Amino acid sequence: MKKLTLSIFTIALALSASAQKLDRSIRPKAGPAPEIKLGDAESFTLPNGLKVFVVEKHKLPVVSCSIQLDIKPALEGEKTGYRSMLSDLLTSGTKTRSNEELNKQIDFIGANINASDEGMYGSCLKKHAAKLMELMSDIAINSDFKQDELDKIKKRTLSGLEANKNEPDDMLNNVSAVLNFGKQHPYGEVPTDVTVGKVTLADCKKYYETYFRPNVAYMALVGDITVAEAKQLVEKHFGAWKKADVPVATYSDAGAVTSTQVAFVPREAAVQSVINVTYAIDLKPGTPDVIKARVTNSILGGGSNGRLFLNLREKHGWTYGSYSSINNDELKAHFTAYAKCRNVVTDSSVGEILAEMRKLQSEKVSQEELQNHLNNISGTFAMGLESPQTVAQYAINIERYHMPKDYYQNYLKNLNAVTVDDVNEMAKKYINADKANIVVVGNKGDVDKTLVKYDADGKIDYYDNYGNPLKASESKALPANLTAAEVIKKYIASIGGEKAITSIKDIKTVGKGTLSVQGQEIPLTITEMKKAPNKMMSKLEGMGMTLSKNVFDGTKGYQEQQGQKKDMTPEEIPGAKAEADIAAELHADKLGIKRTLTGMDKVNDADAYVVEVINAKGDKSTEYYDAATGYRVKKVENNEGATQTIEYNDYKEISGSGGYKIPNSLKMTISMQGGSMVISEKVETAEVNKGIADTEFN
């Protein structure tokens, strides 16, 4: 009977609804903004000045503790990079616990503790909260930096910098930071191999002893903990943390961009460009413009429903995504519009980004578009309130940035009050296509000249991956009537001449090196063998196993990686034959290899001839030959979405070869979508004409 009654009731509702006339052209009015009830964040302050905020969340038996330092430290200057090393140094041991003991005790309670130059974070189960606080206080008060740990960190840092030298987004971010803020501002300091190399243990210790002080620190305790419990733990473990005067640095202001300038960062053989349209702005946390600017940016490029995404991806198909951001910051904020696109549409992508920026300034958005973005932001804000860490952070923000006490309670009310006119006002105030740094990382020659039209003075500025200016006239003009054939002829002579090359029946080299990837270094053994006319084997060994192996027996071959074997395809055979041929340079035409001399450039501050190479398959690469010595010093090619750069150095004659020379130092950098890796090699042994068995190529 109950089910029957419900069914009749449902039918009655449906009939009633259909009887009413519904005008679907009328958009429902937005309801009043919901009242926000933040979880209570209780606070107290220790005598040493440590400000503590507690947010109780008893749903799960977990406690987290974060410490944030409110500091303005001195510039790193010629030693830029030491602040980033604090993250590892702080957790590498204390005066009461060695590195091993500290890690063992953290693992024993199943905790997670990490640190940075501006604070710490830790979390664990409720029952281990006291131990967590003990360990974190030991790190904050008693960290003990060791030279051997710093040496390891510097080595990893240098390895990471080397791998990222040709990573497009890193290059883009470095140059954007320097141009937006200047090198006399902390946001414009970029670590290099030179600055990292100068970092000393004393630099790191001085920073820690100067800035890790309770009177400039905020602590947030969140989770299954009461205020009374928190106060007892904090007083017990952090009460002895000594306060001290903490210096406050002042920084130079790079100033506003006065006209649109194009900054180009060359990335050899790149098939894609990455773009930033960017500049510094003044937008402080908690000010009335912050919420309005967030809405404005959401419309322009805050996500997949932003105009940049809909234009560059959905309409034109030039990119996987294009976005923008307007951040707020106590020191200096910035605007950025970003895209990654193919070379041939780089200039068009820049044009559309600038057009969308101008359109938002000149034309008011519709109420419907505005409301869609208000709804999205409201949902994101509401979801964030489910995290107690967010609530704690809000409490700290209010204290740290002197924001109105009800700033977050009224957030949705103020958000929903944003009008079409507000968006137009914010666009005119913070979005300026005519006073911007247009930073592009791409292939010089293919892309840079197409961007001249966007530069106010018609002159493109060039930068290296660290944001240092490159000279416009780096290299000499090509000698008259010089051809690629003559460049190769000089190269052949430099490595021993035709007679020496043709005398080589087989060659074997064994080298030691490293694979650097994601800051880690893996020792390698690299073995290469070739046998005339066209047999080849190369093997990469590390971590007690064969990481990769390539074999070609003259007619067929295979590639093997970590036990997975793949036969060469018919399309790959011609390339393998050319690579296996010891005397390939003597008869390149028979192998279908064509070379064209395209210009001159600098390689390691020396003039080099630039030669474009097209193999039998039609693949392109670029080779560089030292103008003075004739040696091949670099090769750049694209392979399945990755850019591979090989640098050749230290040419030496092989004993018993009749004068035949090979490079004894090689460095290969492979850059791809997910990052970069570097393989460095020093040849230890090289032998020729030792009668290598054919079985080596099976």
Q: 466 and 174 in contact (C-beta within 8 Å)?
A: yes
Degrees, nearest 5: CA angle 358-364-368: 125
User: 457 to each of 114, 348, 434, 454, 634, how far by Cα in Å?
Assistant: 48, 19, 12, 9, 34
Let me know whether 214 and 322 are in one domain.
no
Strand-pair partners of 506: 531
- Domain boundary residue, one of 238, 270, 287: 238
Let me know whether 207 and 348 are in one domain.
no
pLDDT of 3 over the 60 cut: no
Residue 664 within a domain? yes
Measure the CA–CA gap between 376 and 364, rounded to whole angstroms: 20
Measure the CA–CA gap between 668 and 604, rounded to whole angstroms: 15
CB-based contacts of 577, cutoff 8 Å, min separation 6: 534, 552, 554, 591
3-class state of residue 206 by DSSP: helix
Degrees, nearest 5: CA angle 142-143-147: 140
Let me know whether 342 and 489 are in one domain.
no
Query: Taking phi first (over 0 means left), then psi (-120 to 50 degrees means alpha), and beta for anything else, what does residue 254 get?
Result: alpha
For 589, the token pair is 């035409």
Let me know whether 230 and 284 are in one domain.
no
Average pLDDT, integer, range 112-128: 96
Distance of CA 150 to the CA centre of its chain: 23
Convert the pLDDT of each residue in 437-455 to its tens digit. 999 999 988 899 999 999 9
- Domain boundary residue, one of 238, 270, 301: 238
**Which residue in 429, 261, 293, 431 sits closest to 353, CA to CA?**
431
Let me know whether 290 and 372 are in one domain.
yes
Let me know whether 490 and 466 are in one domain.
no
pLDDT of 308 over the 60 cut: yes
Convert the pLDDT of each residue in 559-611 to its tens digit. 998 789 999 999 999 989 999 999 999 999 999 999 999 999 889 889 999 99
Measure the CA–CA gap between 221 and 216, rounded to whole angstroms: 17
Residue 36 within a domain? no
Measure the CA–CA gap between 334 and 278, rounded to whole angstroms: 7
Residue with tokens 């790190």: 139
Residue 17 within a domain? no
Strand-pair partners of 186: none
pLDDT of 523 over the 60 cut: yes
Name the least confident of 103-117, 158-172, 199-213.
158-172
**Which residue in 80, 116, 333 sits closest to 211, CA to CA?**
116
State the pairing for strand pair 217-223/51-56.
parallel
DSSP letter at 94 equals B
The number of folded domains in the chain is 3
Q: 543 and 558 in contact (C-beta within 8 Å)?
A: no
**Which residue in 601, 660, 679, 661 sits closest to 634, CA to CA?**
601
Residue 509 within a domain? yes
The boundaries of the domain holding residue 116 are 41-238
pLDDT at residue 538, rounded to an integer: 97
Let me know whether 159 and 221 are in one domain.
yes
Residue 682 within a domain? yes
**Which residue in 440, 442, 437, 465 sits closest to 191, CA to CA?**
465
Please state, rounded to an integer, the average pLDDT across all residues of the chain: 91
Average pLDDT, integer, range 74-102: 97
Let me know whether 186 and 80 are in one domain.
yes
Measure the CA–CA gap between 372 and 365, rounded to whole angstroms: 11
Average pLDDT, integer, range 353-375: 97
Convert the pLDDT of each residue in 365-405 to its tens digit. 999 999 999 999 999 998 888 888 888 899 899 999 999 98
Across 378-488, the runs of DSSP E, i.e. the strands, are: 437-442, 461-463, 469-470
* CATH number for 167: 3.30.830.10
pLDDT at residue 475, rounded to an integer: 53
Name the least confident of 210-214, 382-386, 691-695.
382-386
pLDDT of 1 over the 80 cut: no
pLDDT at residue 38, rounded to an integer: 59
Q: Where are the alpha helices (DSSP H) in 512-641?
A: 573-580
pLDDT at residue 165, rounded to an integer: 87
Let me know whether 432 and 581 are in one domain.
no
Let me know whether 233 and 189 are in one domain.
yes
CB-based contacts of 483, cutoff 8 Å, min separation 6: 597
**Which residue in 451, 427, 461 sits closest to 275, CA to CA?**
451
- Domain boundary residue, one of 470, 494, 521: 470
pLDDT at residue 36, rounded to an integer: 57
Let me know whether 445 and 508 are in one domain.
no
Residue 387 within a domain? yes
Let me know whether 538 and 560 are in one domain.
yes
Convert the pLDDT of each residue in 10-48 to its tens digit. 333 333 334 344 444 444 454 455 555 555 689 999 999
Name the least confident of 55-64, 514-523, 573-582.
514-523
| Band of residue 433 on the pLDDT scale cut at 50, 70, 90 | very high
Residue 360 within a domain? yes
Measure the CA–CA gap between 283 and 277, rounded to whole angstroms: 18
Residue 243 within a domain? no
